[in-house]
Structure 1
Amino acid sequence: MVLFNVGFYLVVPFLAVHLADELHLAAWAIGLVLGLRTFSQQGLFFLGGSLADRFGARPIVLLGVALRVVAFVALGFAEHLWSMIVGVVLVGLAAALFAPAVESTNAVYGHRLEADGVLARTELFGLEQMCSRLGSVVGPALGAVLLVVPFRWTAVAAAGLFALLWLAFARWLPDDASTSAAEPGAVAPTLRQVWRTVLVNRSFLFFVVLCATQLLAYNQLYLVLPEQLDRSTGSQAALGWFFAGAAVLVIVGQGPAVACARRLGHRNAIVGGLALIALSFLVPPLLLADPGRALAGLVGWVALLHVGQMLMVPPMRDVIGRLAGERNLGAHFGMLSTVGGLATLVGSVLVGWIYDLVDAGRTTAAAPWLALAAVVAASAGAMWLWSGRDRLSPAALARSAPASRR
């Protein structure tokens, strides 16, 4: 997880810089490229997770990592909008193959550890978040240093790192690292059976629709943050340090956030996290008018956004496992990312369009922030109304899990 994030954050946070400064694309085109990257990744997680449920984790992980190597090379040598689109779609497709397999395997292990009284699954998810962020401390810092070299060579370096990761997975990933079932020895389902268990689970589908806005909000770090840094300070040089600082915040704060979420309960933690994320988008508009305080507004936004994520994501992932009845977890976690990817694609294009309106003088500089705050706040309110008093408690979730998959 550390090395995956080093390679990812070496390239993706600086993609907007490359698109704007070297390829000279318009804001809407940058939003399209970044949205397609997220949609091809998150949007295809359902397919990748289903394949992991059907065929097991090992072959799908190896295929995904190999494709990521090809994708970063293609991205580095792309010189036009269409070739950039091809590159980012390949980058996303690679992650759609390997990420759900890893995520659902961790969910299976977490279920077993909780049943054995070792630790709660939300704690395992929190530890996973912390380990992932270790890599995202190093990646942005290296990416900031490498801004002085052409983007092409940064992408090639990331491809080389993923080539080494492929060798490591081929050597150490066990053959039985399967996510096809929550119980050892269970027969792997067909793809049709996998898809059916997801698509007929109405409570699960409604839950992931409400949770999709947190992915939309988080991915604005790749569009709004570079754009606003350039508008506020005239430079995107601080971009890498924003990502590094956010990663340190997660490493330090994820443990306490998980403990707080356990005391609050799943419902309060998820709704509270969404509310904090919505509130974070109200911080920059209060300070953007003053150039001396604009940077502080962005720092406050990034910090509060991550606090909301730390509070809601571990219990959200636990709820998904329970709503799935602990079966076909790759497809269920994949569907969460697919819905979130679609929301991010549409949202990123619309946010880029709003920024074009700002440049044309047809709306205020606060408009993108207020629009995003309203979307996430609506999701938080709907989650509170839908979840009821105890609908998201572990006991209630266990009762509502589909009987055929318990």
Structure 2
Amino acid sequence: MSAPAPVTVPPAPDPAPFRLSAAQQGLIASNFLMWGGFFAVIPLVTVHFSGPTAHGGLGWSAASVGLVLGLRQVTQQGLTVFGGAWSDRLGPKPLILAGCLLRTLGFAWMGFTDTLPVLLAAATLAGVGGGLFDAPKSAAITQVTPAGHRTRMFSLTSLSGNAGMVTGPLIGAALLGLSFRTAALAAASVYLLAAVVLAVTLPHLRPERGAGRSLDGLRVAAQNTRFRRFTLVLIGYFILSTQINVAVTLKAIALAGESATGPLYGLSAGLAVALQYPLLRAVERFLPTRAALVAAVALVGLSLGLMSLATSFPALLACVALYSLGTMTVYPTQQTLTSRFAPPERVGSYFGFSAISLGVGGAVGSVLGGALVDAGARAGVPALPWVTLAVIGLFTALGLHWALQGMDAPGEAAQA
């Protein structure tokens, strides 16, 4: 009797190559336009409305301008939670287009106001626009990108946003030489252009069956224990990420004067533009997504801790470079993991619910960073803020390791 023929197991098929579709290209291009338009005008609000009248400003108090910017932030972050849920009912495209149009109107309106109540109304309208498109944009990226390529797609989207952060202020500053109204209208027109790009390239992604009532998705996301833990633990990271605008900026000014802010932000955004995509490709090759996120958050905390040792501006910039390597890894991995948690019919709701971590962490971080710097100065312990932030980073990394157990393979979290 002859021996049985050996069984040949066919090799696993290679994953499909990553090629950008028209919809993906449109999302990347529109993200560049949105971030560029935002940073072309928002930094100028402070310059124009609170600047000295001798130099063309309106001479308002810093508190008034802070109220305007804070109201826009609160409006946008609060509405983002619901914008994601609505996208599960309507599809993301209508909400993204409506958000772009409202932001166009809000920014254009800013250029024609010279009173605080009207500026508050314009800022609120701009915030409503952002709240409508934030979570639906992430949902659209998820829906048009296969699961195996989402980390790269979120990385490219983040890269385009960072490129907008670099170019937007330069264009805005140049236009301010003409007038603030010119800068505001230019920024508004950029959002209108983004809407046109998405209207042409993004298909109407119809909601999956089973989406239920408009807020059911938020309830489902909140009841997902593992996702709820993930979202709450991420508050710690966003406390840290806010410090580039608070504690880190204050230290940079203390070391090198007000002119230090340009090199500080330029280094952070420039590194993201140059390194984010190749860095994510390398991370994908050697680390699971969960481990990459935990390591990136730990790196952010470590870099903030090392800032306690920086006694010169170049040393601080070296720490900022390390900080940026961590933050540029967190965004795409965090977005990818959120998409893994979400059932197909609840993607928008999950991205909307995840905005809670940014809203709470950003608000707490803004207050905490300044308070820690003041407390350290009063106590004669300048290392206090940096050691505290490093401890927050350590506990956040450990919390993510705990919250994401079992998340190393795609699709393992949808039933959590």
TM-score (norm 2): 0.78
Cα RMSD, aligned residues only: 3.3
Q: Does 1:176 align with 2:204?
A: yes
Query: Do the aligned partners of 2:81 and 2:356 also contact (CA within 8 Å) in 1?
Result: yes
| Selected match of 1:385 from 402, 405, 411 | 402
Q: TM-score, normalised by structure 1?
A: 0.79
Instruction: Select the residue among 329, 338, 342 that pairs with 2:360.
Output: 342
Q: In the alignment, what sits opposite 2:213?
A: 190
Query: Which residue, 273, 278, 291 being the options, matches 1:251?
Result: 273
2:90 corresponds to: 55
Confirm whether residue 209 of structure 1 aligns to residue 240 of structure 2: no
Distance 1:175 1:382, change over 3 A: closer
CA drift at 1:93: 2.5
Q: Equivalents in 2 of 1:241, 1:337: separation in Å? A: 29
Kindly report which structure 2 residues correspond to 1:1-400, keeping only aligned pairs within 5 A, or say none: 1-13=31-43, 23-25=60-62, 36-76=71-111, 86-110=121-145, 113-114=146-147, 120-145=149-174, 153-170=182-199, 172-174=200-202, 176-178=204-206, 180-181=207-208, 186=209, 188-224=211-247, 226-236=249-259, 239-262=261-284, 263-287=286-310, 290=311, 293-294=312-313, 296-355=314-373, 361=378, 364-388=381-405, 391-394=406-409, 398-400=411-413
Q: 1:74 to 1:343 in 2, by over 3 A?
A: farther
Query: Offset of 1:12 from its aligned partner?
Result: 3.5
Q: Aligned pair in 2 of structure 1 residues 89, 363: CA closer, same or farther (>3 Å)?
A: farther
- Structure 2 CA distance for partners of 1:14 and 1:223, relative to 1, 3 Å: farther
Amino acid at match of 2:414: A
Percent identity over the alignment is: 28
Structure 1 residues 123 and 151: CA distance shift in structure 2, 3 A: same
Name the CA distance, whole Å, in 1 between partners of 2:255 and 2:114: 28
Aligned counterparts of 1:363 and 1:23: Cα–Cα separation in 2: 34
**Paired AA for residue 289 in structure 2:** H
State whether residues 151 and 333 of structure 2, in contact with CA within 8 Å, keep that contact through their aligned partners in structure 1.
Answer: yes
Q: CA deviation at 1:108?
A: 1.5
* Stretches of structure 1 lacking an aligned partner (at least 5 in a row): none
Report Cα offsets for 1:164-202 as digits up to 9, x if no partner: 3334444x1555234x23xxxx46532143223212111
Looking at CA atoms only, which structure, 1 or 2, has the larger radius of gyration? 2
In the aligned structure 2, how far is the partner of 1:139 from the partner of 1:190?
A: 39
CA contact (8 A) 2:85 2:215 kept: no
Contact 2:218 2:350 in 1 (8 A): no
Given residue 402 of structure 1, which amino acid in structure 2 is its aligned partner? Answer: Q
- CA deviations over 1:121-174 (Å, ceiling 9, x no partner): 21222222223333223113324545666655533431232233334444x155
How many pairs were matched up? 378
